[in-house]
Structure formats: structure tokens, C-alpha cells
């Protein structure tokens, strides 16, 4: 009992320290004795008191089959606090959350897949609550400065990072490579040489799919971003996102032409699917599948593509498919890594909401989530995540790629740009580009859509 009292008072002190922006130390605790008292992993959550019967409504883009591991990872939260999580996943979430914000019909928490969306919600609707002290402390402790920056708007910290993914991957068939004596390329030049070598064998080396419903075109924006990080470097990339250099800067054109040398080359694409234009109409989920039939050798797509291989496919270094790091132009200048992730935005500061935010930002949750994801397809940039808890080889590769001291991590640029560009003209113009429009016109059109 003395122990319990100590926990409660410690919680009070913590809450007291964090009460600066929501006035009053008790506002976060629901009172009573937390059901998680003395249980392992609940240390951060007991301060919120007894939340039995309370519900936290979470709205996300993560839908079946990936949602199950999310739900499983919340069990500890319920054990610790008594509160349950109401999970709502929708592919339309990115547009719907703005509709809901305008109509005042908001969930407690939303997982935003784009910092740009967070920016829009904060500046346009003022509905997002600033992150409480418990969350911001966790993020300071477990994440790098850059990740905290992605969850901040105008210097204020709102949303803690949740999951992460690595986009700079090229999927391939280790068996196909071994059978033909092909080696995983270490530089961009080697990559192009390998492509020629494969093409000479009568196999189209690359396959791609850009169709994704309303978001058609996003896989192509990733291509350009990855190329730009390699040709012009991370500093230019940052200036490009902030619009310090125009969208149609010659450096961007150079990167896009580099992509064009692969994706607009009829000898290289679209392995097992069709001609160049077929990229625009092929669903992104289908884009890499010809690798399994040996009709395509390489498919540049993020780590989360792991979920799209048919059931029974072994994803491993010695399996049917695996991924290698998309090589850079000049390896002496470091390893640029493009990635993405989700961010946890809260729309109120009820004790259960804050408790859940705190839980999600902790190392405890990151490890719970890793354990709840036996099939693979999930990693986090949370430094408290024990790589041994990751089960699948591709997740381990993602985690080591993110943790590599050589790595220069950059967030997906289109996710950071204003919505007019990042979720509209950039996608649309890249689709026009792949169906025939030239590089100059494409970049000029996007530049002119940049909001003044």
C-alpha cells in the first residue's frame, strides 16, 4: 500500500510539473486508484488514475490487415488504465479529418500520416492540442530532434511520432539475382549498369505502379524525392521543401530526368505489366508482383510493401523477395534515406486521451507493437525499440537502415509541402509526366500551383 501511495504521489508530481499549459496539476488525472498499480510496463500510466469505462476514439489510415497488430498493442494500455480504445480506420481519413475538423465532429486522437496535414489542421482549424509534458518528455528521450521537428508547427510541439517506414528500398528476388550472377549494386552507376545487363537478357528490369485511387501518383513523387536526395543532397532537399528554391529549379529537373532514365525507358519498364504508360494505371499494390514470376527484377518501394506480397511468400535475404538500399550517386557523401511515418495528434486533453498519447510515445508501446506484429511490416524510430523484438528480416533491415550512423534521414518531401502541392498538384503532375508530359512543363506546373 505504501508503494501504491508512492506511485500516486510520484504521478502527482509529474503531472504537476507538466501542468504549465493546461493549468492545474489534477486536470490530467481522473482520480481513484489506477488498475495498473504495480504492474510491469504501467509506470507512466498510473498517474492518470482509474479510467475504467472510459473510451479513447482513435481515427487512422491504418486498415485491415495492418490494423490488428495496432489493436493488439493497446491491450497493455487497457490493463494499465482500464480505458478501452475505439479504433476507426479509413483510407479516406486524410480528407475526412479536415471535414470533421470543420464540422466539429472530431475523434480524441488521429494518426496523421503527413506532417503537412498536421500543419494544415493546426494553422487552419486550431483544433489540435499541444502535446502534454508527459508526451514531450518521452519524445525528447526516445526520438531524435528531427522527428520532434516533424511533429511541431511554428516551434510548438503537437504530435509525437508513432511508426516509421523506410522508402529508399528496392525490392528484388535474391534467388533470381543469385541464379543470374547479378550483384546488389552499391552505387547509382552500378544500378544503371545492372539494369542494362538485365535488359540485355530480354527481361525488363524495372516494374512500377502508381495508381492509388485518389492519391494516384504518390509512388512517383517518392521516386523523385529519393533521386533528388542522391543527386543534389539533403540541404537542397530541405530548401526545396521550404520553397527557398523554386520547385522547377534545374537541380530538381536533373533528378527527375534521372528518374525518367529508368521509368520512361521502354527497355526498362514495365516488367511483366506493359509499357511506360501502364505505370499510371497499375495499382501500386500490384506494381512489384511480377518479380515473383521472374518477369521483373527490381521494384523501388517502401518497407511497407512487405504487406503486399501474397500469403506464403518468404520475405528474407535468402527468400523469394527482399529489398536492398537504393544506392546513392556518391557513397562518400553519406547514405541518404527517405522515409515516412505517422504522428499522433490529440483534439482534447481528457485524462484518457493524454494517457493514451503518453502510452504511444513510450518505449513500452514501441516494444509491445513490435511483439504484436509477428508478420512484419512495422518499425519505429523510437530509440527504445529493441531490434530483437522485431520479427521479420525486412523490419530488422529497416531498423538498421534508420539507425545507421552514416544515414542521412529525410522525411517524404510531399508530406511536408503545403496540401495544394503535396496532396494535389505534385501527384497529378507526376501522373501527367509518366503519361507523356515533359520534365520542364511538369515542374513548371507544380511551381505555379505553390500557394503564395
Partner 1 sequence: MSLGEKLLQAVIIIALFFAVVGVILVLTSKLRSRLGELIQSAAFLLPTILLLGVGLLYPAISTVRLSFRNNFDKLWIGFDNYKTIFTDSDLVRVLINTALWVIITPIVATFVGLIYAVLVDRSRFEKTAKALIFLPMAISLVGASIIWKFVYDDNTGILNAITDTFGLGRHHWLLSSPGNTLLLIVIFVWVQAGFATVVLSASIKAIPTDIVEAAKLDGVSGVRMFRYITVPSIRPTLIVVLTAITITTLKVFDIVRTVTGGNFKTSVLAYEFYVQSFRSANRGLGAALAVLIFVLVLPVVIYNVTQMRKVAR
Q: Which residues are near partner 1 by CB under 8 A?
A: 94-96, 98-99, 120, 123-124, 213-217, 273-274, 277-278, 280-281, 418-420, 423-425, 428, 431-432, 435, 445, 451
Q: How far apart are CA 131 and CA 20, in angstroms?
A: 12
Q: At its nearest, how many Å lie between partner 1 and the CB of residue 99?
A: 6
Q: How far apart are CA 78 and CA 354, in angstroms?
A: 14
CB of residue 21 to partner 1, shortest distance in Å? 24
Nearer to partner 1, 46 or 425 (CB): 425
To partner 1, the closest distance from the beta carbon of 247 in angstroms equals 15
Q: Give the three cell numbers for residue 347.
A: 483534439
| CB-nearer residue toward partner 1: 241 or 431 | 431
Grid cell for residue 406: 552514416
If the CB atoms of residues 281 and 320 are measured against partner 1, the closer one turns out to be: 281
Reading the block at residue 365, the C-alpha cell is 508501446
- R_g of the chain, CA atoms, integer Å: 23
Nearer to partner 1, 134 or 270 (CB): 270
Residue number, 16 or 246, with CB nearest to partner 1: 246
In the complex, least distance from residue 423 CB atom to partner 1, rounded to whole angstroms: 5
Q: What's phi and psi for 340, nearest 5 deg?
A: -145, -175
Q: Which residues pair with 38 in a beta bridge?
A: none
Residue 252 beta carbon to partner 1: minimum distance, rounded to whole angstroms = 20
Q: Which is nearer to partner 1, 164 or 280 (CB)?
A: 280
342: exposed, middle or buried (Cβ count in 10 Å: 0-12, 13-18, 19+) = buried
For the chain, give percent helix, strand, coil, nearest 5.
50, 15, 40
Three cell numbers at 13? 508530481
Cα 62–chain centre separation: 11
d(CA 340, CA 165): 5
Amino acid at each position: 500500500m505504501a508503494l501504491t501511495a508512492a506511485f500516486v504521489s510520484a504521478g502527482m508530481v509529474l503531472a504537476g510539473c507538466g501542468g504549465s499549459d493546461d493549468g492545474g496539476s489534477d486536470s490530467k488525472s481522473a482520480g481513484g486508484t489506477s488498475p495498473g498499480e504495480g504492474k510491469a510496463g504501467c509506470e507512466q500510466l498510473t498517474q492518470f488514475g482509474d479510467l475504467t469505462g472510459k473510451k479513447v476514439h482513435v481515427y487512422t489510415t491504418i486498415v485491415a490487415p495492418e490494423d490488428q497488430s495496432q489493436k493488439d498493442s493497446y491491450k497493455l494500455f487497457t490493463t494499465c488504465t482500464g480505458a478501452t480504445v475505439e479504433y476507426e480506420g479509413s483510407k479516406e481519413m486524410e480528407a475526412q479529418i479536415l471535414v470533421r475538423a470543420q464540422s466539429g465532429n472530431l475523434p480524441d486522437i488521429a494518426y496523421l500520416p503527413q506532417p503537412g496535414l498536421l500543419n494544415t489542421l493546426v494553422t487552419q482549424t486550431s483544433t489540435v492540442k499541444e502535446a502534454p509534458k508527459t508526451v514531450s518528455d518521452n519524445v525528447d528521450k526516445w526520438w531524435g530532434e528531427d522527428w520532434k521537428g516533424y511533429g511541431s508547427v511554428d516551434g510548438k510541439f503537437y504530435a509525437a511520432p508513432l511508426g516509421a517506414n523506410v522508402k529508399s528500398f528496392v525490392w528484388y528476388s535474391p534467388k533470381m539475382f543469385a541464379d543470374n550472377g547479378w550483384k546488389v549494386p552499391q552505387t547509382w552507376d552500378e544500378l544503371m549498369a545492372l539494369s542494362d545487363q538485365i535488359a540485355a537478357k530480354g527481361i525488363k528490369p524495372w516494374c512500377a505502379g502508381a495508381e492509388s485511387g485518389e492519391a494516384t501518383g504518390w509512388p512517383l513523387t517518392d521516386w523523385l524525392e529519393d533521386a533528388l536526395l542522391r543527386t543534389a543532397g539533403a540541404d537542397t532537399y530541405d530548401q526545396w521543401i521550404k520553397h527557398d528554391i523554386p520547385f522547377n529549379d534545374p537541380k530538381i529537373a536533373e533528378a527527375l530526368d534521372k528518374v525518367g532514365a529508368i521509368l520512361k525507358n521502354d527497355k526498362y519498364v514495365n516488367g511483366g505489366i506493359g509499357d511506360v504508360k501502364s505505370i499510371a494505371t497499375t495499382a501500386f499494390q500490384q506494381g512489384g508482383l511480377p518479380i515473383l514470376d521472374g518477369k521483373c527484377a527490381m521494384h523501388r518501394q517502401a518497407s511497407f510493401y512487405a504487406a503486399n506480397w501474397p500469403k506464403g511468400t518468404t520475405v528474407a535475404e535468402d527468400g523469394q523477395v527482399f529489398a536492398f538500399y537504393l544506392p546513392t550517386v556518391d557513397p562518400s557523401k553519406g547514405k541518404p534515406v527517405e522515409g515516412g511515418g505517422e504522428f499522433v495528434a490529440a483534439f482534447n486533453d481528457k485524462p484518457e486521451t493524454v494517457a493514451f498519447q503518453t502510452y504511444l510515445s513510450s518505449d513500452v508501446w514501441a516494444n509491445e507493437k513490435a511483439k504484436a506484429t509477428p508478420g512484419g511490416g512495422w518499425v519505429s524510430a523510437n530509440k527504445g525499440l529493441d531490434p530483437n523484438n522485431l520479427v521479420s528480416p525486412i523490419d530488422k533491415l529497416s531498423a538498421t537502415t534508420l539507425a545507421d550512423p552514416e544515414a542521412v534521414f529525410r522525411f517524404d518531401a510531399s508530406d511536408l509541402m503545403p496540401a495544394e502541392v503535396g496532396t494535389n498538384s505534385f501527384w497529378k503532375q507526376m501522373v501527367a509526366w509518366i503519361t507523356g508530359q515533359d520534365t520542364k512543363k511538369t515542374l513548371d506546373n507544380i511551381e505555379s500551383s505553390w500557394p503564395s
